[in-house]
Amino acid sequence: MIFRAASLAVGHAVDPELVEGAAITESEFATRLGLPAAPALAEAIMVERDIRLVELTGARYHFGQISTRAALDAIIPRAKEDGIAIAAIRNTNHLGALAYYAEHVAGLGLTCIALTISEALVHPWGGRKAMIGTNPIAIGVPADPTPMVLDMATGLVSMGKIHDHANRGAPIPLGWALDEKGDPTTDASAAKKGAIAPFGGPKGYALGIAFEVLVASLAASAIGITRNPSITASIPFVGSISVMMTSAPCPLARIATPRPHQP
């Protein structure tokens, strides 16, 4: 109901899978809307700078799903006309799974690269304290019969999954995370206060740093330990950022999605 009202206010619908993919509940979003930093929903999205190729959008701490779709819809016509376009979004909230946006763009016949960064949740390779975000990337490429879509984070596991294990009282696999003291743990509740391991060892950690610096430099935002947490309703998630890049492929670039082998 909250997302439906917000969608009507700014003219963008929120698909159910984006609400389901959010790391916090709808009631927590409602709490955030009552914070002093939150303006009227109709004023949530504002283009701060526009130089044709790049659009910088300030979402004023509102729904990530809505602000991201609004920014993406604004640059899609430019990508079709100019061949490429970029949108940088800052001061928004959790935007759900990046795969949704990549698949949406690829379904329109465009390629898409989507990046976003989180608060510090992942420890450096060989480190013991959370220093960088889980920093996911999604790529969508037009293909037949369905688009090719990749969506992956640079953390070994999502913090949402660790919260799920903690809520169920279930242990986590050894190697997923460290506790608050920097020691390996299988206690999900202890892991919530600690740090997630980077995926792929030093290579995943290096990608996480690269994505964080790239996105933050494009949108001029806070990074790592200077960012507010996203899985909370007590303070606004200042500085959540995503970057979308779309380009029009040449006619020969459309590929065929591999089909399962038929014996």
Q: Please write the tens of the pLDDT for every residue from 138-166.
A: 999 998 888 999 999 999 999 989 999 99
Question: Which pLDDT tens digit goes with each residue over 82-141?
Answer: 888 888 887 777 788 899 999 999 999 999 999 988 889 999 999 999 999 999 999 999
Write the DSSP assignment of 85-145 as a string of letters: EEEEEEEE-----HHHHHHHHHHTT-EEEEEEE-SS-BPPTT-SS--B----EEEEE-EES
Residue 91: per-residue pLDDT: 75
What is the residue type of 142? P
Q: Are 248 and 110 in contact (CB under 8 A)?
A: yes
* Position 237 pLDDT exceeds 50: no
Residue 89: per-residue pLDDT: 83
Instruction: Report the chain's terminal Cα–Cα distance, integer Å.
Output: 48
Q: What are phi and psi of 137, to 5 degrees?
A: -135, 145
Residue 228: per-residue pLDDT: 57
Residue 233: per-residue pLDDT: 47
229 pLDDT tier (thresholds 50, 70, 90): low
- Integer Cα distance of 118 and 133 in angstroms: 4
- Integer Cα distance of 85 and 149 in angstroms: 19
Q: Where are the domains of the chain?
A: 2-156+197-250
* Position 68 pLDDT exceeds 50: yes
CA distances to 16, 49, 102, 114, 141 from 145, in Å: 23, 38, 16, 22, 12
- Integer Cα distance of 176 and 196 in angstroms: 6
Q: What are phi and psi of 130, to 5 degrees?
A: -65, 125
Residue 78: per-residue pLDDT: 86
Query: Nearest Cα to 138, choosing from 111, 158, 159?
Result: 111
Query: Nearest Cα to 130, choosing from 78, 182, 169?
Result: 182
Q: Which residues contact 59 (CB under 8 A, 6 or more apart)?
A: 44, 45, 46, 66, 67, 89, 90, 91, 92, 93
210 pLDDT tier (thresholds 50, 70, 90): very high
Residue 220: per-residue pLDDT: 75
**Which position has the token pair 């979004």?**
89
Top-confidence residue, 148 or 33: 148
What is the residue type of 80? K
* Position 23 pLDDT exceeds 70: no
What is the residue type of 85? A
Top-confidence residue, 184 or 75: 184
Protein fold of 2-156+197-250:
Ribosomal Protein S8; Chain: A, domain 1 (3.30.1370)
Instruction: Output the average pLDDT for the chain.
Output: 77
52 pLDDT tier (thresholds 50, 70, 90): low
**Which position has the token pair 């940088």?**
88
Please count the other Cβ atoms lying within 10 Å of the Cβ belonging to residue 137.
20
Q: Are 141 and 111 in contact (CB under 8 A)?
A: yes
260 pLDDT tier (thresholds 50, 70, 90): low
185 pLDDT tier (thresholds 50, 70, 90): very high
Task: Please tell me whether the peptide bond between 171 and the residue prior to it is cis, using omega within 30 degrees of 0.
Answer: no
* Position 253 pLDDT exceeds 70: no
Instruction: Over range 68-85, report the average pLDDT.
Output: 86
Q: What percent of the chain has pLDDT over 90?
A: 39
Residue 226: per-residue pLDDT: 64
Q: Are 196 and 122 in contact (CB under 8 A)?
A: yes
Q: Which of 17-31, 53-67, 204-218, 240-254 has the highest mean pLDDT?
A: 204-218
Q: Indicate the pairing of strand 148-152 with strand 143-144.
A: unpaired
Instruction: Over range 227-251, report the average pLDDT.
Output: 59
Q: Are 108 and 76 in contact (CB under 8 A)?
A: yes
